[in-house]
């Protein structure tokens, strides 16, 4: 929830600064660069093979596998 960054900034900001090694609330992320969008092509222009796709980004913890490979024991440890 985006409001959380404002409502509980006193909690979030120190955590974010530690996790992101000094990234302060006044710092700005670099602009996104997805390359030359004119070079992107439809991989399935007729819609014959690709029905849907999804991209998921999630956090990971050092020493643990990415989410799809975590076990119940891993979750309990975390």
State the binding site.
Answer: 52-56
State the binding site for ATP: 52-56
3-state SS, one letter per residue, for the chain: CCCHHHHCHHHHHHHHHHHCCCCCCCCCCCCCCCCCHHHCCCCCCCCCCCCCCCCCCCCCCCCCCCHHHCCHHHHHHC
């Amino acid at each position: 929830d985006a409001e959380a960054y404002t409502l509980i900034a006193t909690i979030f900001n120190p955590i974010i600064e530690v996790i992101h090694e000094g990234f302060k609330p006044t710092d700005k992320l670099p602009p996104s660069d997805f390359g030359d969008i004119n070079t992107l092509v439809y991989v399935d222009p007729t819609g014959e093979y690709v029905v849907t796709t999804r991209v998921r980004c999630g956090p990971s913890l050092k020493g643990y596998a990415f989410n799809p490979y975590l076990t119940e024991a891993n979750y309990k440890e975390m």
